[in-house]
Structure 1
């Protein structure tokens, strides 16, 4: 298919409402985008097991997940970046030393080494099930992203692992990916593989992990509820996610 544009949507605080749900008007807008030959892509820190129902409800079948570690377009996998086992072990040991907890992610499943108040708080915050405990699962299963569950050790992890990016996306958790992985790099990979480098791209986001997404896209749209640093980079600040911000922006740019 020949696309006229691409549109990349963060989920929490952007495409979803305050209950992490897809409102009917969002599904209608995504369907209209596709009818207009515009490719809608979810770009999120979550993985597919967490967003499968959301994607179905929103009528979107393309995603950049785990902050850019995995890409699927129209049902086909086009990129997957996997952690080295030795590096996982180093992060795992550091997490345990700090009395924090760690979750492991690939596109099919999530598991963790233990349950604590931060883990329970993190998954409740995004309205998703608590993952099962499997401390040694990373030894036999691929891992694309790690989630560090804790609140007070951000500086320690950043200094201890300069080869990693740590994104605090909830009060309880740090999304953890390699420095070479980001939503922005994933956009570039998608564009190159689908030969869409000359097609206009639109980014919709609200959080600090959307900065790389903004840098990779032509038009940067910050939600009304976005963090200030993202609003400063935006070409357009739309309404809040709970006030029809997505629809407002899509109509503003005449995408629907």
Structure 2
């Protein structure tokens, strides 16, 4: 029996326009609740941004956000793993000198960008973060970081990634797509957060289902028994998933969940 469902957001649950079929979700979510299943969105976006996306349902969901550095439930963070302040600033300084990219420094107070950021880049970043503040210098930030994200509108992130290997023993670094790199605590990734939440809820991986599309979802599908890639996923993830469903633009995640719920209903009749 499936008791918990994890899904990546961008490219998986969300369609190419960054939204989802809300009428269909309302119908499927009603069935999810009827079967006492826990639905968990997983994203690089701020937890607050995910709450906004799910309107009236946001606060009742367990949300794995901020690139799996945080889990939020009913307005409180129940899990948090922070990136050392010195490590984060060293990476920021290094990359600011090497590349013309937008850097997002995330702390518990919100997401910070340089006040020199272009309006074009700021609009893109604002799409993923509910709280974005502009600062003159990242040196102003004294707390440890939730994460650092690099946005490259030239889409060179898979190439840029090799220059971050020297920090691999101090941070977890992954390109979620060709325009984004996420840098978190070295033990932070979707798989670690999912494993923690499953144990926290006294469940097990045999009761878990998960969906993804990118290389940063490999850890996600490794922690669930029933793993799905959407048809638009990268080949690497498809090869590691047990099933391939329809694309993010065809409501692949919702259709699969709906089908599984109907099967579980029949089994328990």
Q: TM-score range by the shorter chain?
A: 0.7 to 0.9
Paired with 2:102 and 2:128, the residues of 1 have a C-alpha distance of 19
Equivalent pairs counted in the alignment come to 253
**Per-residue displacement from partner, 1:107-148 (whole Å, max 9, x unpaired)?**
662111341588458538x67679432233762445211102
Report what 1:143 is aligned to: 145
Structure 1 window deviating more from structure 2 (218-227 vs 27-36): it is 27-36
| TM-score of the pair, normalised by structure 2 | 0.82
Report what 1:190 is aligned to: 197
1:15–1:22 Cα contact (<8 Å) kept: yes
Deviation at 1:66, TM superposition (A): 1.9
**SS in structure 1 of the partner of residue 175 of structure 2:** strand
Paired with 1:137 and 1:253, the residues of 2 have a C-alpha distance of 50
The unaligned stretches of length 5 or more in structure 1 are none
CA RMSD of aligned residues (A): 2.7
Deviation at 1:207, TM superposition (A): 0.9
**Per-residue displacement from partner, 1:167-201 (whole Å, max 9, x unpaired)?**
22243321111230011110111111221126600
Report what 2:28 is aligned to: 29
Correspondence 1:1-256 to 2 at 5 A = 5-23=3-21, 24-56=23-55, 61-99=61-99, 100-106=101-107, 109-113=110-114, 114-116=116-118, 119-120=121-122, 122-123=124-125, 131-134=132-135, 135-136=137-138, 139-150=141-152, 151=156, 152-197=159-204, 200-254=207-261
Query: For residues 20 and 76 of structure 1, do their structure 2 counterparts lie closer, same or farther at Cα, with a shift above 3 Å needed?
Result: same
**SS in structure 2 of the partner of residue 90 of structure 1:** helix
Paired with 2:6 and 2:134, the residues of 1 have a C-alpha distance of 33
| TM-score of the pair, normalised by structure 1 | 0.86
**SS in structure 2 of the partner of residue 19 of structure 1:** coil
1:27–1:57 Cα contact (<8 Å) kept: no
Paired with 2:177 and 2:130, the residues of 1 have a C-alpha distance of 15
